[in-house]
Amino acid sequence: MLKKPDHVFDREAQWRALAQFVDRVGQRPQFGVVSGRRRQGKTYLLESLATASGGFYFGATEATEADSLRQLSTELTRYLKLPAPLRFADWREAVSYLFAEPRLRSVPIIIDEFPFLSKASPALPSILQHAIDRTAIPRKGPSLLICGSAQSIMGRLLAGQAPLRGRANLELRLRPFDHWIAARYWGISDPELAIMVHAIVGGTPAYREFVSGDAPGDRGDFDDWVTRTVLNPATPLFLEARYQLAEEVTDHRETGLYPSLLAAIATGSNTRGGIASVVGRKSNDLTHYLNVLEDTGLIMRVQDAFRSGRSIYRIAEPLITFHQAIVRTELGPLESGRAGQVWARKQPQFLAQVLGPHFEALCRSYTELAPAELFGARPSQVQSGVVTDSVHRTQIEIDVVAFDVPEPGKPPRVLALGEAKWGKVLGIRHIERLRRARELLTERGYDTRDTTLACYSGAGFEAGLSGSGERVRLIGLEDLYTPT
Ligand SMILES: Nc1ncnc2c1ncn2[C@@H]1O[C@H](COP(=O)(O)OP(=O)(O)OP(=O)(O)O)[C@@H](O)[C@H]1O
Ligand SMILES: [Mg+2]
């Protein structure tokens, strides 16, 4: 199998899938789709694959059909070392050529930024479909990989009634690095520092390049690192959140609404009604805009664990939360070089709106992958949720709720209820709150016989807490960074 080049960090499983695709080249016609949000390393991986396998790589740009066809023919002419330049009148001709040229059967053909092509030429997916269907009969044909970040286009390519549905034998979605992998990528071994950095740059590989590989040396360097990187107008990271939005959201109705929606979510108004009141619109009028943001993968809607029909929005990319909560209202002072003052002033927002919620999200990610020993079984679903306590007239917010695999005819089995606090020492009253929630859930018919009460803290635990009762688990920063 094709060896992964040393410069490609991690991405073992993804490389394996791509290398297997390459192994099958020439044996059968193939069609593969690679997708993922911007800056996740799709191009990096595919260019490396093309180099390692001698494949043909074409990176489309935003252009007219005629222009794109010209770019493709130039690249193909060069790749195939043809004496005379190729010319394609339309995509039908170009696709026929790609599928008929014998020298292109023994290598992968990689077309990156496919959405630029299909945007200018909406018939392209069905032209490809016809070409693929024709080659399927003599079982001879090329191995074509298409790639793109516009989730709205890439997702639809293979979903529902789309012409390419059912034709792909590889579907790869590149996600950000998991938090412990991101820590290694940034060369950070202190878990506290790793979480603080992850709360800003997440697991998006490109962001390390955006700051020329500058990582904070230690906890004491963190504030300085923030002011010299993400708050520094001279780094590409500074404006990245705005670029992401501009590149991903191509809907030109009311573009000003999108940053306001993101800002509302980032600053803690995450229900549809809450967002509506912050941006000053009726809840129903936001449906289209929230759907567009969800389609791009910049936000996600998550269901409450216990209240059916209730959902909240979360921002998927930490940098966007950071931008909306910290940077957006301070562009003036930041552009005039006052990052130090801004950063000092924004500490409460950083803790409450960025680090706190981010820590909760990391605790959920950790729990999703928890080994069976931790909570009695491997969780099948991890959410957050609200339990209503009508006796005490309160709502108990639960940061981490882990469910076992649902079984038909049986009540949902709760494996764990967890409280996550970045800056607080957790103690007996936190356990009591979780215990009360467990009691209420038992009354409501959930199976809580083996529910573990989990405390996740960035600041430690009161002495004796682990012995405070049945099935209590304490999870500290080191645990979050211990591969399970
Ligand atoms: N696995 C990796 N190992 C090392 N560096 C990586 C890796 N993945 C990405 N990078 C770095 O991130 C940069 C950005 O990645 P790349 O341009 O491939 O992202 P992309 O997913 O194609 O984004 P876009 O959708 O914006 O085109 C790369 O140039 C490289 O520096
Ligand atoms: Mg790319």
Burial code of 222-256, b = ≥16 C-beta within 10 A, e = fewer? bbebbbbbbbbeebebbebbeebbeebbebeeeee
Residue 204 sits in the same domain as residue 123? no
Residue 338 sits in the same domain as residue 375? no
What 8-state DSSP symbol labels residue 328? G
Q: State how far the Cα of 30 lies from the Cα of 142, in Å rounded to an integer.
A: 6
Kindly state whether residue 352 falls inside one of the protein's structural domains: no
pTM, full prediction? 0.95
Kindly state whether residue 7 falls inside one of the protein's structural domains: no
DSSP letters spanning 213-269: T---SSGGGHHHHHHHTTT-TTSTHHHHHHHHHHHH----SSTTHHHHHHHHHHTT-
Atom of ligand 1 nearest to the CA of 209: 31
pLDDT at 246: 87
> Is the beta carbon of 4 within 6 A of some atom in ligand 1?
no
The protein residue whose alpha carbon is closest to atom 16 in ligand 1 is 41
Kindly state whether residue 4 falls inside one of the protein's structural domains: no
Residue position matching structure tokens 């040396």:
217
> Is the beta carbon of 115 within 6 A of some atom in ligand 1?
no
Please name the residues in contact with 451: beta carbons below 8 A apart, sequence gap of 6 or more.
414, 415, 416, 417, 438, 441, 471
pLDDT at 152: 76
Residue 55 sits in the same domain as residue 131? yes
Q: Is pLDDT above 90 for 450?
A: yes
Residue 168 sits in the same domain as residue 220? no
pLDDT at 469: 64
> Is the beta carbon of 12 within 6 A of some atom in ligand 1?
no
Q: What is the mean pLDDT of residues 117-121?
A: 95
Residue 185 sits in the same domain as residue 334? yes
CATH number at residue 389: 3.40.1350
Of 156, 173, 190, the residue that ends a domain is 173
Atom of ligand 1 nearest to the CA of 45: 18
Residue 235 sits in the same domain as residue 291? yes
In 3D, which of 153, 158, 194 has the Cα closest to residue 177?
A: 194
What 8-state DSSP symbol labels residue 40? S
pLDDT digits (tens, 9 = 90+) for 245-281: 888 887 778 888 999 999 999 999 999 999 999 999 9
Atom of ligand 1 nearest to the CA of 113: 27
Q: State how far the Cα of 294 lies from the Cα of 288, in Å rounded to an integer.
A: 10
- Domain span at residue 313 reads 181-345
pLDDT at 252: 76
> Is the beta carbon of 209 within 6 A of some atom in ligand 1?
yes
In this structure, are residues 423 and 456 in contact, taking their beta carbons and an 8 Å threshold?
no
pLDDT digits (tens, 9 = 90+) for 461-481: 999 887 766 789 999 999 999
Q: In what order do the strands lie in the sheet with 108-112?
A: 56-59, 108-112, 143-148, 30-35, 170-173
Residue 166 sits in the same domain as residue 190? no
Q: What mean pLDDT value characterizes the chain? A: 94
> Is the beta carbon of 179 within 6 A of some atom in ligand 1?
no
Kindly state whether residue 61 falls inside one of the protein's structural domains: yes
The protein residue whose alpha carbon is closest to atom 14 in ligand 1 is 206
Of 173, 195, 211, the residue that ends a domain is 173
Shortest-distance ligand to the CA of residue 201: 1
Shortest-distance ligand to the CA of residue 181: 1
pLDDT at 459: 97
Of 39, 146, 154, which is best to mutate to test ligand 1, by the most ligand atoms within 8 angstroms of its C-beta?
39
pLDDT at 162: 78
CATH number at residue 306: 1.10.10.10
Residue 302 sits in the same domain as residue 249? yes
Kindly state whether residue 2 falls inside one of the protein's structural domains: no
In 3D, which of 118, 122, 107, 142 has the Cα closest to residue 60?
A: 118
What 8-state DSSP symbol labels residue 447? B
Residue 91 sits in the same domain as residue 72? yes
Q: What is the mean pLDDT of residues 352-369?
A: 97
Ligand 1 center to residue 44 CA distance, Å? Answer: 5
Interstrand relation of 394-403 and 170-173 (parallel, antiparallel or unpaired) = unpaired
The protein residue whose alpha carbon is closest to atom 9 in ligand 1 is 41
Kindly state whether residue 357 falls inside one of the protein's structural domains: no
CATH number at residue 44: 3.40.50.300
Residues in the chain: 484
> Is the beta carbon of 133 within 6 A of some atom in ligand 1?
no
Residue 169 sits in the same domain as residue 189? no
Q: Is pLDDT above 70 for 113?
A: yes
The protein residue whose alpha carbon is closest to atom 24 in ligand 1 is 38
pLDDT digits (tens, 9 = 90+) for 298-314: 999 999 999 999 999 99
Shortest-distance ligand to the CA of residue 38: 1
Q: State how far the Cα of 299 lies from the Cα of 303, in Å rounded to an integer.
A: 13
The percent of residues above 70 in pLDDT, for the chain, comes to: 99
Kindly state whether residue 64 falls inside one of the protein's structural domains: yes
> Is the beta carbon of 41 within 6 A of some atom in ligand 1?
yes
Residue 278 sits in the same domain as residue 417? no
**Segment holding 353, helix H or strand E:** none
The pLDDT-based confidence of 484 (bands split at 50, 70, 90) is: low
Ligand 2 center to residue 59 CA distance, Å? Answer: 8
Residue 157 sits in the same domain as residue 193? no
pLDDT at 468: 60
Q: State how far the Cα of 31 lies from the Cα of 166, in Å rounded to an integer.
A: 10
Of 318, 345, 372, the residue that ends a domain is 345
Count up the domains in the chain and report the number.
3
pLDDT digits (tens, 9 = 90+) for 188-204: 999 999 999 999 999 99
Ligand 2 center to residue 36 CA distance, Å? Answer: 10
Of 10, 44, 245, which is best to mutate to test ligand 1, by the most ligand atoms within 8 angstroms of its C-beta?
44
Q: State how far the Cα of 365 lies from the Cα of 382, in Å rounded to an integer.
A: 8
Kindly state whether residue 356 falls inside one of the protein's structural domains: no
